[in-house]
Chains A and B, each alone.
Chain A
Amino acid sequence: MTKSIVFRFIRVITLLIGLSILTFSLIHLSPMDPVNAYIGGDSSASPEQIEKFKAYWGVNKSPVEQYFTWAGALLQGNFGTSLLYRSPVLDIIQSRFLTSLALMGVAWVLSGVIGYLLGTVAAMNRGKTIDKIIKWYSYTLVSTPIFWMGLILLIVFAVWLKWFPVGLAVPAGVLESDVRFIDRIHHFVLPVLTLSILGGSNIAMHTREKMIDILNTEFIVFAKARGESSWQIFKNHGVRNSIHPAISLQFAYFGELFGGSMLAEQVFAYPGLGSTLTTAGLNGDLPLMVGIILISSLFVFTGNLIADLLNKIVDPRVKGAM
């Protein structure tokens, strides 16, 4: 048990190291020179600032040395300074992250609940109309691009019906301290809906398949033979046998949701990590870009790690075998 946990941790760490090497190489190869991008047309940077910046990137050393200087700084939590915002990368990530986290967290829970319920209902009524509707819903939506879904919702609910605002996380031109909670919710609904509708369809599809597999097993046939009703079969055996795969699916889905929310933020001009990443990329703000990529990866890896571990810990058969 401990062995497998340690093994998984090592895997996450190697993945992060690999990713940092990859990112570094890309930066090194890219025509974008961080120092030039930093100085840019901006003459306000003082010579000391430029020196500090050069030292951070180790400009005058060999690429390998540069990597180690840079990686060492990262390890100490020094992600550098954003060129665009002129403040520490970690501070920016922190504030954007919270905005994104609210969006992703709510969408994550909603997707899971909606998906599990729809998938279960479909599987238990396999071949009936309700199953066909849910199947149609999931198969159609699962292949729908997220920005397309976002735009449709925007057009219908924001432009035509005017129920919700067109974008941003808070009303434009209002002081941060004057923003009411209800305004935040109001701006929150459409992006969350976009993510949950698509995420729910994904999870519903997987849950349906898993549940059909379970319902075809011999122990379900026996439960029927013992006079258990559909509801009892679901309660006694369906939940028990589907909950582990559902939970690990839910955590494994985190990565996809993360990517999805980056796109959704773009569509709704929602100032979270995703839109910040795009801005950073478009403006050559390398430190911020690298910071967001690494932190996001850590987050996604953690999701997968939790999925793996839960799978191990919760299933008594696996627990017994270890």
Chain B
Amino acid sequence: MSNVQTKPLLQVDHLSIGFSQYVKGTQKRIIHPIADMHVEINEGEIVAVVGASGSGKSLLAHAVLGILPSNAIFSGKMLYRGEELTPARMEKLRGREISFIPQSVNYLDPLMRVGRQVQIGLDPRTARAQQEKLFLQYGLQKNDGRLFPFELSGGMLRRVLFATSVREGVRLVIADEPTPGIHPQALSEILRQLKQFAEDGAGVMLITHDIISALEIADRVAVIKDGATVEISEASAFEGNGERLKTEYTQRLWRALPQNDFDLEFKREAVR
């Protein structure tokens, strides 16, 4: 798929994100969890963003959507379909052309019935029918729509979150770790759905821990470490001993996976 003539949908260059924090009440200091991040996603392409917990994957997603906390300061270049992604543009695009699947089920309103939450943003006349169809598609019962988030299991809530992202006219899907805690059957359904997005021409940013599942559908993989992009490689380079991977870091990450050679020393580091 990557050799098809495509144009960049999203380009992120030299992204840096800092937070001003108050230490001991009065002293102000700035921390920089993201120093130098690059990502590029083409139309119809799935790019997996992998990295250890705390490496800055979620911040990257939030920066693209313009939903960073108010004390965040960011610099760098973000282009969407060749034009600068300004806050005003983000506001217009999100929920319409750019759809987001957040990392945690706490992103659902605890006091709103889940069916209603999926209906938000849909055409009011057909919202209900569309939501019921989506529920069916993701293995949720029609009656589940009447329930509040606390009445559903974690796996079911993940699928509800996923259902909120399915919209007509979506060109970019940002999925922030959509798979943990989901049973294998639903997992493959979600991967299949992400692939469907790409086949329909949308770009997909799949943020994940789970390289193996990601490789099933990803075209390229961006490896993130401590807020910087270490390497971007074709998914096909992740095979064998990883000789085709560009950096030692990524090779060791690849070899440390349980399916591959054990590199216990590295694994200990990476898991931390």
Q: B94 touching A219 by the CB < 8 A rule?
A: no
Q: How far is the CB of A234 from chain B (nearest CB, A)?
A: 13
A240 and B109 contact, CB distance less than 8 A: yes
B137-175 CB contacts (< 8 Å) to partner A = 148, 150-151, 164
- Given the complex, which residues of A lie within 8 Å of B106, measured CB to CB? 217-219
Please provide the chain B residues from 85 to 118 with a CB less than 8 Å away from any CB of chain A in the complex: 91, 93-96, 99-100, 102, 104, 106-112
Measured CB to CB, the closest approach of chain A to B236, in angstroms, equals: 32
Q: Which of A267-322 contact B (CB under 8 A)?
A: 315-317, 320
Q: In the complex the two chains form, is B111's CB within 8 Å of A240's CB?
A: yes
Does A222 belong to the interface (CB within 8 Å)? yes
Q: Once the chains bind, are A222 and B107 in contact (CB under 8 Å)? A: yes
CB<8 Å pairs between A and B, sample of 13: A219-B109, A221-B62, A222-B107, A223-B109, A225-B100, A226-B100, A227-B93, A228-B121, A236-B112, A237-B112, A241-B109, A241-B110, A316-B111
- A residues within 8 A CB of B206? none
Indicate with 1 or 0, residue by residue over A42-58, a CB within 8 angstroms of chain B CB atoms: 00000000000000000
A-B contact sample (17 more), CB < 8 A, given A223-B109, A226-B121, A315-B111 = A219-B107, A219-B108, A219-B110, A221-B67, A222-B102, A225-B95, A226-B95, A226-B164, A227-B93, A227-B94, A228-B95, A228-B120, A232-B120, A237-B112, A241-B110, A241-B111, A317-B150
Determine whether B224 belongs to the interface, using a CB cutoff of 8 Å to chain A: no
Q: Name the A residues within 8 Å of B148 (CB-CB).
A: 316-317, 320
List chain A positions with a Cβ less than 8 A from chain B: 217-219, 221-228, 232, 236-237, 240-241, 315-317, 320
B65 interface hit (Cβ, 8 Å): yes
Q: Would you list the 5 A-B pairs with minimal beta carbon distance, nearest first?
A: A227-B95, A222-B107, A226-B95, A225-B100, A219-B109
Q: Which residues of B contact A241 (CB under 8 A)?
A: 109-111
- The size class of the interface chain B forms with chain A is 20 to 34
Residues in B with CB closer than 8 Å to A228 are 95, 120-121
Q: In the docked arrangement, what's the CA distance between A218 and B109, Å?
A: 9
Minimum C-beta distance from A239 to chain B (A): 10
Once the chains are docked, how many angstroms separate the CA of A240 from the CA of B109?
9
- A217: chain B residues within 8 A (beta carbon): 106
Interchain CA distance A63-B181 in the complex, whole Å: 69
A222 to B148 Cα, complex, angstroms: 17
Q: A232 CA to B124 CA in the complex, in Å?
A: 14
The answer to whether A237 and B109 touch across the interface, beta carbons within 8 angstroms, is yes
With both beta carbons as reference points, the residue of chain A lying nearest to B91 in the complex is identified as A227
CA distance A225 to B107 in the complex (A): 10
* Smallest CB gap from A244: residue in B: B111
Contacts of A227 in B (CB 8 A): 91, 93-96, 121
| CA gap between A39 and B140 in the complex, in Å | 80
Q: Which residues of A contact B120 (CB under 8 A)?
A: 223, 226, 228, 232, 236
CB contacts under 8 Å to A, within B31-70, are: 62, 65, 67
* A225/B109 in contact, CB under 8 A: no
Q: Which residue of A lies closest to B111 (CB)?
A: A240
Among B65, B96, B104, B164, contact of A218 (Cβ-Cβ < 8 Å): B104
Residues of A within 8 A of B67 (CB): 221, 224-225
CA distance A228 to B96 in the complex (A): 10
CB contacts under 8 Å to A, within B227-259, are none
Chain A residue at minimum C-beta to C-beta distance from B164: A226
| Cβ contacts under 8 Å, B109 to chain A | 219, 223, 236-237, 240-241
When chains A and B are docked, how far (Å) is the Cα of A232 from the Cα of B151?
25
CB within 8 Å for A225 and B111 given contacts A218-B104, A218-B106, A317-B150: no
Listed residue (B93, B95, B111, B112) with the most chain A CB atoms within 10 angstroms of its CB: B111
B107 with A218: CB separation less than 8 A = yes
How far is it, in angstroms, between the C-alpha of A261 and the C-alpha of B66 when the chains are bound? 49
Q: Report chain B residues within 8 Å CB of A316.
A: 111, 148, 150
**Nearest chain-A residue to B106 (Cβ)?**
A218
Cross-chain contact B102 with A225 (CB below 8 angstroms)? yes
Q: A221 to B109, alpha carbons, bound, how many Å? A: 10
A221 CA to B107 CA in the complex, in Å?
8
- Residues on the B chain within 8 Å of A317, using CB: 110-111, 148, 150
User: Measured between alpha carbons, how far is A241 from B112 in the docked complex, in Å?
Assistant: 9
Contacting residues, chain B, for A218 (C-beta < 8 A): 102, 104, 106-107
Q: Which residue of B lies closest to A225 (CB)?
A: B100
Q: What is the minimal beta-carbon distance from A227 to any residue of chain B, in angstroms?
A: 2
Bound together, the chains give a CA A237 to CA B112 distance in angstroms of 8
- Interfacial chain A residues near B93, Cβ < 8 Å: 227
A235 CA to B93 CA in the complex, in Å? 21
In the complex, residue of chain B having the shortest beta-carbon distance to the beta carbon of A227: B95
In Å, the complex CA distance between A317 and B149 comes to 9
A227 to B151, CA, bound (A): 26
User: How far does the Cβ of B129 sit from chain A's closest Cβ, in whole Å?
Assistant: 20
Interchain CB contact under 8 A, B150 and A320: yes
- Return A126 CB to nearest CB of chain B, in Å: 8
